[in-house]
Amino acid sequence: MKYRSGHAFVHIFVLLILLPVCSFCQKKEHVSEVDPSTLEIRQIGIYKDPSRTATIDEIHKTNFQPSETGVLDFGFTNDACWLALEVVNTTNAVQNRLLKVGKLLVDSVQLFFKQGDHWRSVMTGVNIPNSQKLIKGRSSYFPIEIEGQDTATLYLRAVSTYGIQFSISILDEQELQSRDTNESLIQGFYLGALLIITLYNLFLGFSIKDNVYFHYAMANLAAIMLALSVRGFFSYYFPDDYAGWTPHLITGVTALYIALSSNFNIRILNLRKYSRHAYYMMLLVAAISLLLAVGLSVVRLFGYTIHNLSLAHANILFTITAIYAGIMAYRNGSHYAKYYLMGWTLLLLSVLLYTLMIVGYIERNYFTANFYLIGSVLEVLLLSFALADRYNYLQTESNTLRRNLRNKEGDLAMVISDNKMRYQFRKIILEKVEEINNSETENIKSQLNSFVTDLKLQLETEEKFNYIEGNIEKINTQFESKLKAKYPDLSSSEIEICHYIRLNLSTKEIARLRGTSVGAIKVMRHRIKKKLSLTDQTIDTLIREL
């Protein structure tokens, strides 16, 4: 009775699952994308300062390690990360450009450059109030001006509780506008898509009175908050108020996302029933993340600096647990696990990819940095199948019930008519007995004898009827519909006879039941045989095989 959704969707799903693999085929995001005919980045070196106190004069004298990888990925660290680069102007004209540090979430980035004999510095980043920034944009931007044929040495100092990745590029004003516009479009799209689905599910859950939709909406809401805060939505739109509470917001939202998603997973997969093992793991992960978030916030409130690596690991743990839970529930027969796996595997993989990227286990490229957005949009779409399935399931069930009800009503009518027939027969018995009673004494004996014979015969038929009625569940329900579907031109009385044949009644018995002669039944059997287009096979075997 279970409704099966089309195989086409399974194929689509498999294709979608393969998508994350593309991330490894993507080109690396380069440290610099500069038009080499005007500006050129010559040398890049890195230095980690665990004390976080080194000044630019000290740094200037230290030896920077030359970097090897394309993206300078420091991962999570409490150190101050320094980056040195030389920008060469190959033209004769003064070049005014923007230096972009391509990650949205860096607490603070400081640019040092030499003006005359003095070092000057400019600051930007999430924790810096908007009014103190020279250029307001979605990433960290610094204005740079380089004279013709000149070489400028620039130092960048980044401090962050999030993964530190430098992807440096030099842009002009126009490119900044178009990049920020693209980012706005992506964020708007994401916000619109997920928010409307969240509200939709909330409304749906409210009107069909099912809690799962409510929990789903909550998990979605947390996902929106997380994705937007990671993409710098809040720091862009609420810049000055945001600077103070950004560290707490992002850790809090991450933990909330893990906790609410775990809650939803537990409910939709009914983990308590299908896999207690996964259930406890899920609870544990949620508890760990919440505790971590509280712990990190408290440590920061006391003025210490601590990065979010532990939380990123908790997130990795969560995605693995969630996929495991889905598989376990599916194997143990949870009905919704199929849809869960379809919708969530992709999302979880994309989140896993992203987290592995920020922790520094895999490279940053366009795909790893953005795939979670696609993942979560696809997830909400794929879960629509679950709703459709519930609907279809109900509809199929209703249809089956309706058919059963019709059959039962048919059965009932038959049994009742049988009952009436027996009653009628008993009336005849009464008449006969009264007749015997009134006849002469010497005749009584012989009359009684013939009466007993009659009665015995009658009992024998009734015995068979009792058998029919006892097995009515098995016999009647499907046989008739099958017969009708296969041979639609059978009349109702012919179908009745088929029933009797199926129950192994002899032609004589059928004749008595239907109150006709044996010859009439023989004719009918012949007609049925014709209609069933039988040649050598007998009716009896065919009907019993049906």
Partner 1 sequence: MKREIVILVFGLGIFFNSLCSYSQEIIDVGEEVIENPIGQRTTHFYDSSRGMGYQEIKGKTFIALDARVPNFGYNTGADWLKFTLFNSSEQVVEKILRIDKPIIDSLELYYESNGVMKRQITGAMVLKSQKYEHSKSNYFQIALSARDTITYFLRVTGMHSKQVSIHVNNDYEYSTYEQGVTLTIGFYFGALLIITLYNLFLGLTVKDPLYLFYALSNLGALLATLALKGFFTGYIFPNNPEAILIVVPVCIISFTLFSSCFCIRMVSIRKYSALTYYLFIGVIVFGVIAVVYPYSMTQMGFHSTYMPLSIGTFVFTIIAWVSGVIAVRNGNKNAKYYLAGWTIGLIGALQYALLLNGFLPLNFFTENLYLIGSVIEVLTLSFGLAGRYNAIQLERNELKRNLRHREGDLEMVISDNRYRHQFKKNMLEKVQEINHASMERMPSKLNSFVTSLKMQLETEDKLNYFQDKIERINAEFEAKLKERCPELTPGEIEICYLIKVNLSNKEIAGLRKTSEGAIKVARHRIKKKMNVSSLEEVEITLQNTEA
Q: What part of residues 401-440 is at the interface with partner 1 (CB under 8 A)?
A: 401-402, 404-405, 408-409, 411-412, 415-416, 418-420, 422-423, 426-427, 429-430, 433-434, 436-437
Does residue 390 bind partner 1 (CB under 8 A)? yes
Show contacts with partner 1 in window 159-178 (CB under 8 A): 174, 177-178
Judged by CB under 8 A, the residue of 132, 466, 537, 538 near partner 1 is 466
Does residue 1 bind partner 1 (CB under 8 A)? no
- Nearest approach in angstroms of CB 370 to partner 1 is 14
- 399: burial class by Cβ within 10 Å (0-12, 13-18, 19+)? exposed
Nearest to 85 by CA among 105, 64, 68: 64
Q: Which residues pair with 40 in a beta bridge?
A: 88
Q: Are 139 and 8 in contact (CB under 8 A)?
A: no
Long-range contacts for 439-448 (Cβ within 8 Å, ≥24 apart)?
none
Show contacts with partner 1 in window 494-523 (CB under 8 A): none
Show contacts with partner 1 in window 226-245 (CB under 8 A): 236
Judged by CB under 8 A, the residue of 79, 86, 180, 496 near partner 1 is 180
Judged by CB under 8 A, the residue of 65, 132, 398, 516 near partner 1 is 398
Does residue 444 bind partner 1 (CB under 8 A)? yes
CA distance linking residue 342 with residue 357, whole number of Å: 23
Judged by CB under 8 A, the residue of 96, 121, 384, 541 near partner 1 is 384
Judged by CB under 8 A, the residue of 21, 134, 291, 381 near partner 1 is 381
| Whole-Å CA distances, 455 to 417, 439, 459, 461, 504 | 20, 19, 6, 10, 21
Judged by CB under 8 A, the residue of 19, 316, 320, 472 near partner 1 is 472
- Nearest approach in angstroms of CB 441 to partner 1 is 6
End-to-end CA distance of the chain: 21
Q: 3-state SS string over 106-159?
A: CCEEEEEEEECCEEEEEEECCCCCHHHCCCCCCCEEEEEEECCCCEEEEEEEEE
Judged by CB under 8 A, the residue of 459, 485, 488, 535 near partner 1 is 459
The mark string for 184-213 relative to partner 1 (x by CB under 8 A, - otherwise) is: xxxxxxxxxxxxxx-xx--xx--xx-----
Does residue 449 bind partner 1 (CB under 8 A)? yes
Q: Is 65 helix (H, G, I), strand (E, B) or coil?
A: strand
Does residue 287 bind partner 1 (CB under 8 A)? no
CA distance linking residue 453 with residue 449, whole number of Å: 6
Q: Are 45 and 67 in contact (CB under 8 A)?
A: yes
Nearest CB to partner 1, comparing residues 237 and 280: 237
- Nearest approach in angstroms of CB 132 to partner 1 is 14
